[in-house]
Amino acid sequence: MRRVDLFLISCLIVGASVSASAGTGFPAEQRTSRYLDSVRQEPLLLLAFLREIPKGGDLHNHLAGAIYAETLIDFAAKAGLCVDRKTSALLPPPCDDSTGKPPANSALRDPALYNQMIDAFSMRNWNAARESGHDHFFATFDKFSSALNANMGGSLAEVASRAASDHLQYLELMHTADGMQAALLGERLGWSDDFGTLRERLLSGGLKNVIASTRNQLDQDEAEMRSILHCDAPEAGPGCAITIRFLYQVLRGLPREQVFAQILVGFELAQSDARVVGLNLVMPEDWYVPMRDFELHMRMLDYLHGLYPSVHISLHAGELVMGLVPPEGLRFHIRDSIERGHAQRIGHGVSVMNERDPFGLLREMSQRNVLVEICLTSNDVILGVHGPEHPLAIYQQNGVPLALATDDQGVSRSDMTHEYLRAVGAYDLSYTDLKRMARQSLEHSFLPGLSLWVETREFSRVAACEGDDPNANKLSKGCRHFLDGSERAQMQWKLEGDFARFEKRF
């Protein structure tokens, strides 16, 4: 019997007992909420329930960290890469087993090597006594990135399929989609303290070609993904239903001329290609260059935001903890990312209570409607922050919008369902809290168009769709017209339909 059937049967059984005690006529949302409360202490039933909840979007998902090690080994084998037996790092051919560099495909017949590679490419069996989670985590990327780069279409297919099985509908993937061309151009053209000069030099010196070839590459990668998932065939894979958009991923640990070139490509791409909806600055925030150049990066963003005001920005900020950096380094990254870097969303925000005037900052985030992308597994394995040490509940109490996100689910061996599981377990979240976060994920997505909601306290719909049923075959003319004009509202409408169907089961 399929898992879903088992789930439905368990729902029907428990649902029957719940409705008997609750009486009839309870709204579906309340019955669903009672079901969640009835399985709160039963991890396996809770898992089955959370798997099926509609989850909206994953707004903080690095494509390079989303792929499971088993897939990466498969990619490496197909691409003819070699592996260093000692470090598990993938290497370009020619391979030579006699010098400890066998072909990666030999791991498919050698369980010890296979297991060693999985552990090296992820947090599986990570040994906290031997190595910090932070160091092991960030060291994985250099080991496997050549496999990933050799199969971007396959990588997209994997994340889309997993998103479908998690009942997500939308992904905003962080992706350095130009394959480092902008960084190389930036290095070649050098630095100037005058941002205007620097921008002109890049635009006339080859950046436009980088944009064109990046768009071509995205076309190819998407076509490859659709072919792998059989999206044009009757038996199309569930991943085909996932809407994917990209955030251009700037590597903030690179030299300043390269970071500027990447930020500029991010703005230019987002302005010229609807698939790229914004940009984000990534890499360990505590490393030397991101700490040293933080203020410079904010100035770059401030300057370019002035020239491209409609391009969306989300920033990693506050992925820090006391001891990882000096106390002074914990005081300002979140606030500055919002006020000077123009971030509409913050990734992580773990160190918020170490910022200057933290309650003033929380108030400001609530008033400016800045969403925090909450990455619980990642914060636990990289920073060692979990339970009451994590500010999720403080953000919630202070009215800051939140959405759960996976960050690097392949490296951390998680998925969105398990992020929900952690959140419910650690913070006792209610069904209403989870539904709110799913709705907020689409509300704060960077998809274009007006929102379905006039306000997000009670979630009241726009007048045009007020009386419509999201699962009806036919919509009122006004609602149809409204949805046709907004990609964001279309996504939100689909989520409402999914919630209504989900809640009907209880």
Give the interface with Zn ion as residue ranges (CB under 5 A): 407
| Min CB(278)–Zn ion separation in Å | 14
| Cβ proximity to Zn ion, 103 vs 410, nearer residue | 410
Token representation of residue 147: 């496999």
Residue that the structure tokens 């690179």 belong to? 254
| Min CB(464)–Zn ion separation in Å | 36
| Cβ proximity to Zn ion, 178 vs 408, nearer residue | 408
Whether the CB-CB separation of 177 and 246 falls below 8 Å is answered with yes
Helix H segments across 293-332? Answer: 294-307
E strands along 177-323, which residues? 243-251, 276-282, 312-317
Angle at CA of residue 249, ends 245 and 255, nearest 5°:
165
Distances (CA, A) of 163 to 27, 72, 193, 235: 29, 18, 43, 18
Residue nearest to Zn ion (CB): 407
| Min CB(347)–Zn ion separation in Å | 5
E strands along 252-290, which residues? 276-282
Token representation of residue 181: 């061309």
| Cβ proximity to Zn ion, 141 vs 195, nearer residue | 141
| Cβ proximity to Zn ion, 76 vs 374, nearer residue | 374
Comparing C-alpha atoms, which of 141, 80, 139, 136 is closest to residue 105?
80
| Cβ proximity to Zn ion, 166 vs 407, nearer residue | 407
Whether the CB-CB separation of 132 and 20 falls below 8 Å is answered with no
| Cβ proximity to Zn ion, 407 vs 468, nearer residue | 407
Q: Within a 10 A sphere around the Cβ of 197, how many other Cβ atoms?
A: 10
| Min CB(85)–Zn ion separation in Å | 30
| Min CB(348)–Zn ion separation in Å | 7
| Min CB(112)–Zn ion separation in Å | 32
Whether the CB-CB separation of 132 and 122 falls below 8 Å is answered with no
| Min CB(419)–Zn ion separation in Å | 13
**Own/partner long-range contacts of 40-44 (Cβ < 8 Å, ≥24 apart):** 40/424, 40/428, 43/421, 43/425
| Min CB(252)–Zn ion separation in Å | 11
| Min CB(60)–Zn ion separation in Å | 6
Integer Cα distance of 20 and 35 in angstroms: 12
- Burial group, residue 477, by CB count within 10 angstroms (0-12, 13-18, 19+): exposed
Integer Cα distance of 462 and 139 in angstroms: 47
| Cβ proximity to Zn ion, 15 vs 391, nearer residue | 391
**One-letter amino acid of 403:** A
| Cβ proximity to Zn ion, 62 vs 494, nearer residue | 62
| Cβ proximity to Zn ion, 103 vs 284, nearer residue | 284
